[in-house]
Chain A
Amino acid sequence: MAVELKTNSRWLPAARSDGDAVVARVAGEIDLNNSPELRGELFNLLGRQPPRRLILNLADVPYMDSSAIAVLVEVLQKMRKTGGKVWLTNLQPRVQGLIEIARLGTIFAVARDESEALSTKSP
């Protein structure tokens, strides 16, 4: 059963706990101006006990810059410390392009959408 989680940022407008996963929707163009706020919100969401899986739905993120990528990498490293995994879903073309330039396409788990990420068994 999914449980809605409270969020406090327009860049992270919705999140829920779903089984062993936390599913969060990121929204907006993310650059150096708002990536620190997104970082704080994501780390609040993970709390002291990160979930087994974090699924970030990026459908409403048409653009991000290297500071946003740095936030995603930091989140990934926090998740890895507890054996967790980060999924990125619904990648928009510009975001996908930047992830490829950053050579992170095989480091994050990438899924077409939330359903695909949720239905894929954790390794």
Chain B
Amino acid sequence: MPDQAAHPRPDQAPPVPGRLRLNVTSDPANLASVRHACEAYCRQCGLDEAAAGDVGLCVNEAMANVIRHAYFGATDRPVEIAGWSDAVAVYVSIRDWGSGQVPKLRSKRDPLTPGGLGMVCLRELLDDVVYEPQPDGMLLTMTKRRA
């Protein structure tokens, strides 16, 4: 079991403003509602509009990666999204039960080369991104620090 001390889990987070928990299928039609829910949750946690938008985009990109690379386009597989916060940051995790492969962060030197932009967004807009392979899939935890 990986050491998770550096990444607070929901049971370690303070109860206020509450936790976010979404269970959806791996259908691209769910991207917008998940993105909107995560952005609203970030605003409730006190993030400003721009920071909440950054998290929304990264959740969108991470979930799109799950759909394409963990579930190979299947639209009926489970995706669980959780959000929590503490005094330092807001955290969003995405759990899938797919291929278990850690997405590669490619250096994107040529902007016209397709692919890889989603991971660039995660790297540039978030403070921490941790992929933890699970016996039956993947747990991604994303951290956005408070300003």
The answer to whether B57 and A65 have CB atoms under 8 Å apart is yes
User: Does any Cβ of A come within 8 Å of B117's Cβ?
Assistant: yes
Contact in complex: A69, B117 (CB < 8 Å): yes
A-B contact count (CB 8 A): 59
B112 proximity list for chain A (CB < 8 A): 73, 76-77, 107
B124 contacts the other chain (CB 8 A) = yes
**When the two chains form their complex, are residues B64 and A31 in contact, meaning their CB atoms are under 8 A apart?**
yes
Encode A49-76 as 1/0 by CB contact (under 8 A) with B: 0000000000000010111011001101
Contact A73 B53 (CB under 8 A): no
Task: With CB as the reference atom, state the residue of chain A lying closest to B63.
Answer: A32
Q: Size range of the interface on A?
A: 20 to 34
Please give me the residue from chain A that is nearest to B112 by CB atom. Answer: A73
B55 proximal to A (CB < 8 A): no
Looking at the assembled complex, report how far the CB atom of B123 sits from the nearest CB atom of chain A, in whole angstroms: 10
Interface residues, chain A, with chain B CB atoms under 8 Å away: 29, 31-33, 63, 65-67, 69-70, 73-74, 76-77, 94, 98, 101-104, 107
User: Could you list which residues of chain B lie within 8 angstroms of chain A, going by C-beta atoms?
Assistant: 28-29, 31-32, 35, 53, 57, 60-61, 64, 67-68, 108, 111-112, 114-115, 117-118, 120-121, 124-125
